[in-house]
Structure 1
């Protein structure tokens, strides 16, 4: 059996690709192969409103199950791809069946890093947060008064800590680096987010590593920190980043680095195979990056849909991100890679502020904390490649919209 388009993966990128193709009037045969047992759904609300019990799962689903049949999309759930044969242009799934393809898209996403079993990573009540199964397991463990350890002070860890506190857990967060958000944000952004978490009762311990998790009868009961401190625990949440799912691509002989390497048209080293979303390493400003964001998954998928439908327009990433913690919305436009200077501007609303990043005096990114105007202004400047007038930015009496004049 030959299918015009086989998509491996059932996340945001996979759904956005097929939905856009159908909206463009493309009628090719499409098969989606996903290891999950449910149709594609939104992931960001999983670790927030869904985990808090404020949103039912059916509201997270991209489309009702019937939509896929109506759109002539063959959605195969609980289906694991075991091998890609580039020469035969086929994929083999777990039951031994092979599907031939004309075009193959890898939207395999990423997998949370886990702690080694040697230090207790395999104990019961040690969790990661990525998919519906993770959220359901965490929801059962999130009981008021439970003692939780969050390992990792990036956005994943901070968001998990915020939800745990909201549910009434006692939360300790440890970060091995000398401050939270070390890899992804300035010290000013870290200072602001630390203060917010501490005001909500999270005990944050920086420059603190984990020696081991302690178990009894296979269940987590505590942790020994690198400084010898032992704390009693009921659960732990591991938020130490993710790894791109590249195993299939690498075994097939595609070029793989930190992710599956693609060009500006999303093509891999085999022109009939494309990769999109968290698993893809793509060109951006004379370097290669991997963008772990819903925004990139959607934008890149829709760009590929247009390419498959006949467009010759390359995908140009315009990075933006967001993180919701308590009643704080952190919005980020651009990438601050290699920044050498920052400027902090206070917002109009109490507690709002923005951190503006520069590299060699060129504006490259902004972190906006409860400051939508700063975020929108910064994003427009970056998207249009407009120069930023520092004198306007640094004058608290001037309106940010003047930057766009």
Structure 2
């Protein structure tokens, strides 16, 4: 039997890698290994629609259960790779099975960032990384009265809005001076801080957690570093993630903030690729190496690896884009907030529909849109195709962004 391409990780990146290999007419064996028993599923809804009950399990699947067999993709769900023998080109699974590989794709994602305080093992203290976590969180949320969210990133704020929509008392604790501080401009950050206060949440910024106090094995209070104490029967730890690189490090692969790869997503071992949240890759939009956590990055990197294995290699150069749904607010981001020194607001912040255009000199680097999907789609084309746009044009409400992007694309065709 021929050696397969073995894909470790059955999230967005891993499933897309398997699908893209078949789309690229790769005829060899493909084995997809995932440590969860569930059919691979969409993760973004877990903090929002799934928790609200607006989306059921059946609607979460990335592909129908029959897809994998129909495409000749072998699946090993509910199993885990525990070691890589790079010399023999094989992996060992927790089930004691061994798999030889022609090429290995690591799509292992990220894990919750460790926190430096006690009490995280108490009942009612949860993280949200997978479907099982979401099921626990849903049960806990139904019974909770006082919710504390530690961390004001995307996941924390999405969950906070969901909890407030369910009528819970919510406090958001963030050690940084503003929400989503590493991801968005001060203008967008300040808007979302005010929005969450308007939702009814309390924000505690510039303060950390000292410990979580329990009673009878369950969380009852969160002690903050400023001496204050918050009542809590549910605590979500939304303090971010780190690359799941332990398997890679144990096998001797070069890692920094994730698995170091080149522009074609090859690790320090030419027989191993890394994609998605775990890959530390050169990014033309960042101007250096970066690790990105997004569905776009995961799926686009998967397609690049599939092309290379099918004999049509290309460099990874996709424009990063992201989104976050918080209550009735949809945040969409095109590009990366790099070296921005000039900001233009289009639309009306007071009407909760606006975009923040972030320039480095006269070069547009990033657009953050709130409830303005048209701006977002135009920005992805303008930034992605390096179409010139001046701050004055961005500021002018009569300037048609979509027509501008379309015109320049036609001129280049």
Shift of 1:347: 4.9
Structure 2 gap ranges (5+): 408-413
Shift of 1:365: 0.2
Aligned partner of 2:42 in structure 1 is: 42
1:375 matched to 2:381? The reply is: no
Task: Report the secondary structure of 1:281's partner residue.
Answer: strand
Shift of 1:403: 4.2
1:66-77 counterparts in 2 under 5 A? 66-77=66-77
Task: Report the secondary structure of 1:50's partner residue.
Answer: helix
The answer (yes or no) to whether the contact 2:304–2:313 under 8 Å persists in 1 is no
Aligned partner of 2:358 in structure 1 is: 357
Q: Name the TM-score, length of structure 1 as normaliser.
A: 0.96
Tell me the number of residue pairs that the alignment of Structure 1 and Structure 2 aligns: 404
Aligned partner of 1:180 in structure 2 is: 179
1:5-404 counterparts in 2 under 5 A? 5-116=5-116, 118-143=117-142, 146-285=145-284, 286-347=287-348, 350-401=351-402, 403-404=404-405
The answer (yes or no) to whether the contact 1:347–1:371 under 8 Å persists in 2 is no
Quote the Cα distance in structure 1 between the aligned partners of 2:33 and 2:356.
Answer: 42
Greater shift, 58-67 or 198-207, is seen at 58-67
Quote the Cα distance in structure 1 between the aligned partners of 2:9 and 2:341.
Answer: 38
Instruction: Go from structure 1 to structure 2 and tell me whether the alpha carbon gap of 1:122 and 1:2 turns closer, same or farther (over 3 Å shift).
Output: farther
The answer (yes or no) to whether the contact 1:2–1:100 under 8 Å persists in 2 is no
Task: Report the secondary structure of 1:136's partner residue.
Answer: helix
Quote the Cα distance in structure 2 between the aligned partners of 1:128 and 1:27.
Answer: 40
Task: Report the secondary structure of 2:142's partner residue.
Answer: coil
Quote the Cα distance in structure 2 between the aligned partners of 1:111 and 1:381.
Answer: 34
Shift of 1:172: 0.4
Partner deviation per Cα, 1:159-206 (whole Å, 9 max, x = no partner): 110111122211000111111122111111011111211111011111
Task: Report the secondary structure of 1:321's partner residue.
Answer: strand
Shift of 1:274: 0.5
Aligned partner of 2:410 in structure 1 is: none
Shift of 1:312: 2.1
Q: Name the TM-score, length of structure 2 as normaliser.
A: 0.94
Task: Report the secondary structure of 2:100's partner residue.
Answer: strand
Task: Report the secondary structure of 2:58's partner residue.
Answer: helix
Quote the Cα distance in structure 2 between the aligned partners of 1:64 and 1:402.
Answer: 38
Quote the Cα distance in structure 2 between the aligned partners of 1:254 and 1:320.
Answer: 28
Shift of 1:349: 9.9
Shift of 1:393: 1.5
Quote the Cα distance in structure 2 between the aligned partners of 1:233 and 1:11.
Answer: 32
Task: Report the secondary structure of 1:3's partner residue.
Answer: coil
Greater shift, 213-222 or 63-72, is seen at 63-72
Quote the Cα distance in structure 1 between the aligned partners of 2:2 and 2:256.
Answer: 30
Instruction: Go from structure 1 to structure 2 and tell me whether the alpha carbon gap of 1:266 and 1:226 turns closer, same or farther (over 3 Å shift).
Output: same
Quote the Cα distance in structure 2 between the aligned partners of 1:145 and 1:271.
Answer: 50
Greater shift, 61-70 or 289-298, is seen at 61-70
The answer (yes or no) to whether the contact 1:144–1:167 under 8 Å persists in 2 is no
Shift of 1:58: 1.3
Quote the Cα distance in structure 2 between the aligned partners of 1:193 and 1:403.
Answer: 29
Quote the Cα distance in structure 2 between the aligned partners of 1:302 and 1:361.
Answer: 32
Shift of 1:42: 0.7
Shift of 1:351: 2.0
Instruction: Go from structure 1 to structure 2 and tell me whether the alpha carbon gap of 1:230 and 1:5 turns closer, same or farther (over 3 Å shift).
Output: same
Quote the Cα distance in structure 2 between the aligned partners of 1:330 and 1:403.
Answer: 23
Quote the Cα distance in structure 1 between the aligned partners of 2:153 and 2:262.
Answer: 29
Partner deviation per Cα, 1:266-288 (whole Å, 9 max, x = no partner): 11111110111100111112410
Instruction: Go from structure 1 to structure 2 and tell me whether the alpha carbon gap of 1:277 and 1:81 turns closer, same or farther (over 3 Å shift).
Output: same
Structure 1 gap ranges (5+): none
The answer (yes or no) to whether the contact 1:178–1:206 under 8 Å persists in 2 is yes
Partner deviation per Cα, 1:372-403 (whole Å, 9 max, x = no partner): 12212211111101121222122334333464
Quote the Cα distance in structure 2 between the aligned partners of 1:13 and 1:347.
Answer: 37
Aligned alpha-carbon RMSD (Å)? 1.7
Quote the Cα distance in structure 1 between the aligned partners of 2:166 and 2:119.
Answer: 25
